[in-house]
Chain A
Amino acid sequence: MLRRIFHQVWDWLEDRTGLPEMIGRTARHLVPPDAKWWYVFGGATLCAFMVQVVTGIALAFSYIPSAGEAYATLHFISAEAPFGHFLRGLHYYGASAMVLMVGLHMAQVFLAGAYKFPRELNWATGVLLLAFTLAMGFTGQLLRGDQNAVWTVVVAAEQAGRAPFIGQSLGHFIMGGDTVGGATFTRFFAIHVFIMPGFIFAFVGLHLWLVLRHGISEPPKAGQPVDPKTYRREYQELIKKKGRPFWPDAAWRDTVFCVTMIVVIAVLALVSGAPPLGKPPDPSIIDATPRPDWYFMWYFAVLALLPHGTEQYVLVYGPLLVGIILMGLPFIFNRGERSLRRRPWAVAVVVMIVVMIATLWLEGVDSPWSPNFTAPPLSASVVGATNGPVFLGGQLFHDKGCINCHLIGDDGGRRGPDLTDVAGRLSENQMILRIANGAVNMPAYAGNLTPAEMDALVAFLETRKIPGP
């Protein structure tokens, strides 16, 4: 009885909308038989995006995109609202998962040579989706509306400021005015919640349309290069002979992977939670240590480590060049071997990029270039004297800011060389020369120390020697 009613409703819907048949046919489109676990990352990215849409809408129920109130609503969501802490965590780790999955998806597609003919535009729309994803990550961090958000906007405006001709205007455009203020957050809210998701929806649609149009690429085999003249026919033959319906033969893997990902996101959200809020978004609080979220930490390191004078070019033309290379890739290399055995450079490129980002990321987390503002004065046991020039030198080492950038034992910063054993490396004269004249990354102290202070400081440094074996 129920079954009959269901069938009648189903048939009626089919007749009036035509959708059940169309959706079913699309879901059951044929895919290559050996498309297995390597093919789950694109679906996982979409899945993470859906998590973001749902959790984002929920957050919007309590969020006020106003500079004066965003911070308070974030506090409310994190500390007071039922499920708020969990929800914010889901949105944060969902974003992290989306960035990670889009990266894995891209690496997999590149390594499998799946961007070649006829799938050039699959890749190109994917590159745009990567850019939108990163833009979402960036604007999302700002909407937290804490002190870090304020300085992230300023840092972004300064980067845009390096663009030729329009830099100044672009910088003010990002801030929504001359300074960070009331206009800044409403604008980023509109971008994060309407504009970027709109683009993502549109381009995901296009991306999926292209996937259906050209089919999921078959796993590459060495010795079977892509030839635009014959590729389509060969692919159709393979699909006709050996194709499996996407639903459910392949889709079950996507489902399992996606759900596993959601479980991991949920566990992280419950256990670790979203990043804690910083200080209020008051630009007059100077005591700040601006840091990006993890997915931009490597770029933060790039900004610190660029050779002086090159940032003018790297900040503007670097991202532009990366964009051009990524967009141009499938059009330049649209034919030939897909298998990794015949494309050793593809492996090398991916390994190099991963190693580069990982290394820069570790450096960014560590930030040895940032002065240590919290180093306490050196203790008497470290200085090794309670009066006289060595004692005075030890005090000066702290007061003159040496300790902000140099280590003595475990105390101090790591911007400059570790001075625990400096007397083993430098003579008295060398020390005086260096202190007086400074270096690229060290201030010259000639005008900042009296001769007596210089003597005391050098006397202290002369005692910095690790006894030899």
Chain B
Amino acid sequence: MKDPNPEAGGNHCLASPEELSRRKFLARFSLAVGSVGALIVAFPVVGFIVAPFFQRQREVWRSVGKAQGFKVGETVAVEYEDAAPLPWAGVTAKSAAWLRRENADSFIAFSINCTHLGCPVRWLPKANLFMCPCHGGVYYADGTVAAGPPPLPLPRYPVRVKDGDVQIQTSPVPITQ
């Protein structure tokens, strides 16, 4: 096999000092201009991909049922739609919370996400405990840690009664720091 262009690129030693400095300039110039081109493309690409780093969704109140439908002292799972689901989200647009009617006019909404690693905790009504299926975290009825690896109590979501409807404020999945 023979290189068809033996002349190309191989004649540094024949160049005059002017040619050398011109070449140096052209190399730097090409690199600089190339970088500008790369930056122009990279700016929107990186911005598009890392936007979720900085984006916070607005929070909205979602009705989860009529207040009279909840019995005092009972803890039930309620589901509601996320704040601003994408059109193709399908069932992933849904979120859930554990809702308990404390008394006639106060409700508590617990996150379903275990503070250990986020798995969905289950409420055991007779045992009065929340238990996590992943790594065995257990919480008391008030959400404080009863056993296992969770470092923090179950987070609570804002909840209110408006016009007879129980409403939960949509919140980000709580992430334990």
Complex contact B133–A373 (CB within 8 A)? yes
Q: A22 contacts which of B1, B112, B131, B151 (Cβ < 8 Å)?
A: B1
Comparing B25-33, B34-42, B79-87, the segment that makes contact with chain A is B79-87
How far, in whole Å, are A444 and B132 apart by their CA atoms in the complex?
17
Which residues on the B side are within 8 Å of A169 (C-beta)?
A: 53-54
Restricting to A151-169, which residues have a CB under 8 Å from any CB of B? 151, 154-155, 157-159, 161-162, 167-169
Q: CB of B169 within 8 A of chain A?
A: no
Q: Are B127 and A400 interface neighbours, CB within 8 A? A: yes
Contact B124 A404, beta carbon cutoff 8 Å: yes
A286 with B91: CB separation less than 8 A = no
* Cβ contact within 8 Å between A404 and B131: yes
Q: Does A410 contact B (CB under 8 A)?
A: no
Chain B neighbourhood of A14, CB < 8 A: 1
* CB closest residue in chain A, given B50: A173
- Which stretch in B66-74, B99-107, B141-149 binds the other chain? B141-149
1/0 per residue B44-55: CB within 8 Å of A? 000000101111
Contact assessment for B1 and A181 in the assembled complex, using a CB-CB cutoff below 8 Å: no
The answer to whether A167 touches B175, judged by C-beta atoms less than 8 angstroms apart, is yes
Q: Given that A150-B92, A182-B93 are contacting pairs, would A401 and B131 also be in contact in the complex, using a CB cutoff of 8 Å?
A: yes
Given contacts A281-B91, A311-B149, A370-B136, contact A401 B124 (CB under 8 A): yes
Q: Does the CB pair B85–A181 fall under 8 Å?
A: yes
Q: Closest CB-CB distance, A220 to chain B, in whole Å?
A: 36
The answer for the CA separation of A75 and B66 in the assembled complex, in Å, is 37
Selecting from A31-39, A63-71, A104-112, the interface stretch reads A63-71
| B53 CB contacts on chain A under 8 angstroms | 169-170, 172-173
A312 lies within 8 A of chain B by Cβ: yes
B23 within 8 Å of A (CB atoms)? no
B96 within 8 A of A: yes
CB distance from B117 to the nearest CB of A (A): 4
The smallest C-beta distance from B28 to any residue of chain A, in angstroms, reads 27
Pick the contact of B86 from A158, A170, A182 — CB < 8 Å? A182
- Which A residues touch B21, using CB under 8 A? none
Counting CB contacts under 8 A, is A424 at the interface? Answer: no
User: Is A324 in contact with chain B by the CB < 8 A criterion?
Assistant: no
A161's contact among B120, B122, B140, B176, by CB below 8 Å, is which? B176
- The majority secondary structure among interface residues of chain B is loop
Question: Smallest distance from the beta carbon of A190 to chain B beta carbons, Å?
Answer: 8
Contact A443 B146 (CB under 8 A): yes
Chain A interface extent, by class:
35 or more
Partner of A155, one of B77, B88, B119, B172: B119
User: A237 in the interface, Cβ–Cβ < 8 Å?
Assistant: no
In the bound complex, how far is the Cα of B2 from the Cα of A21, in angstroms? 11
Shortest C-beta distance, B111 to chain A (Å), equals 11
Q: Are A154 and B113 in contact (CB under 8 A)?
A: yes
Q: Is the CB of B92 within 8 A of A180?
A: yes
A245 within 8 A of partner (CB): no
* Residue numbers in A under 8 Å from B20 (CB-CB): none
How far in angstroms is the closest Cβ of chain B from A66? Answer: 4
A448 x B128 contact (CB < 8 A):
yes
- Kindly list chain B residues whose C-beta atoms are within 8 Å of the C-beta of A161: 175-177
Scan residues 175-190 of chain A and give those whose CB is less than 8 A from a CB of chain B.
175-185
| A residues less than 8 Å from B121 (CB atoms) | 286
CB of A98 to closest CB in B, whole Å: 26
B13, CB-defined interface residue at 8 Å:
no
Give the residues in chain B near A167, CB-CB below 8 Å: 175, 177
Q: How far is the CA of A138 from the CA of B176 in the complex (A)?
A: 21
Tell which of B89, B116, B132, B151 touches A181, judged by Cβ atoms closer than 8 Å: B89
Give the A-binding residues of B (Cβ under 8 A): 1, 50, 52-57, 77, 79-80, 82-83, 85-96, 112-113, 116-122, 124, 126-129, 131-136, 138, 140, 146-149, 151, 171-173, 175-177
Which A residues are within 8 Å of any B CB, using their own CB?
A: 14, 18, 21-22, 66-69, 71, 150-151, 154-155, 157-159, 161-162, 167-173, 175-185, 280-290, 300, 303-304, 306, 308-309, 311-312, 369-371, 373, 399-401, 404-405, 415, 438-444, 448
10 interchain residue pairs of minimum CB distance = A68-B90, A182-B86, A401-B127, A443-B146, A182-B89, A178-B172, A284-B79, A284-B96, A161-B175, A304-B135
18 A-B pairs besides A172-B52, A400-B126 with CB distance below 8 A are A67-B92, A154-B119, A167-B177, A177-B52, A178-B173, A179-B172, A182-B89, A182-B90, A281-B90, A286-B77, A303-B135, A371-B132, A373-B131, A373-B133, A401-B126, A401-B131, A438-B146, A438-B147
- A selection of 20 A-B contacts at a CB cut-off of 8 Å is A67-B91, A68-B89, A68-B90, A154-B173, A155-B134, A157-B175, A158-B113, A158-B116, A169-B54, A177-B52, A179-B82, A181-B89, A182-B90, A286-B122, A304-B136, A311-B116, A371-B131, A373-B122, A441-B136, A443-B146
